[in-house]
Amino acid sequence: MKLLRDKVAFVPGGYGGIGEAVCKALAQAGAKVIVAGRDLSKASRLARRIRGVALELDVRDTPSIERTLSRFRRIDLFVNCAGVSREETLDRVSEQAWDEVLGTNLKAAMFLAQAVARRQKRGGKQVHLLSVRAQLGLRGRGYSTYCTSKGGLVMLVRQHASELGPRGICVNGVAPTVVRTEMGAHWLKNPKTRAWLKERIPLGRIAEPDEVAQAVLFFCSPAADYITGQILYVDGGLTASQ
């Protein structure tokens, strides 16, 4: 079903593991997808496969966001898949890592959302990719920067939902646990951490990118027209059992 026919969807971080699944799902639902990222060749390869548009964009270069989007008069759907993680224990957290993670995961989310909202005159959807680390700390690992960035993004979603609601714009977040992507590969390659993850997840398995993409598709669809300011945890029950 072409639920999103004639909709324009902007997806920064669109050629990553989850981002690619999101772009494909949006395209299959009828949307014209703008795949954005620092690597134009990767964005272009995916855009050709889904008959979309590729954009070169470094989300950490705040002034470039508005310049890059100036060619688009209308954006209906915004799915923020841009994100990084740097693991450093509290006593070793560097200012460089802090600025990189917060700049990509939180600051960029703010100014991407701002630029998109300027192109959403009345109605539209904004969806941010978060993580279960928006709600849960992690013992034994150095996740200060990542958890802080995703926790802050929860409040960004709620505030933007509050401000954009009168214009009929819905803002929500999708928060998965570890997903079978390149970013999650270091967890899954190690038999011990892989077994530990599966033991903690009530459904007993790792999330697939398509499962996260379907949650995003729900928030972008008319089925979610009266849902805003919410975080959907796509985590196999992890946050329900801690």
Q: What are the angstrom distances between the C-alpha of 122 and each of 40, 160, 172, 212? A: 31, 15, 17, 27
Catalytic residue among 15, 143, 146, 233: 146
Q: Which two tokens stand for residue 119?
A: 């192109």
Cα separation, 171 vs 113, whole angstroms: 10
Q: Does 226 participate in catalysis according to the annotation?
A: no
* Cα Rg, the chain, nearest whole Å: 17
Q: Is 2 left (phi over 0), alpha (psi -120 to 50) or beta?
A: beta
Cα separation, 60 vs 100, whole angstroms: 8
Task: Enumerate residues 6+ apart whose C-beta is below 8 A from 188.
Answer: 178, 180, 194, 197, 206
Alpha-carbon dihedral 193, 194, 198, 199, rounded to 10 degrees: -40
| Catalytic positions, written as ranges | 146
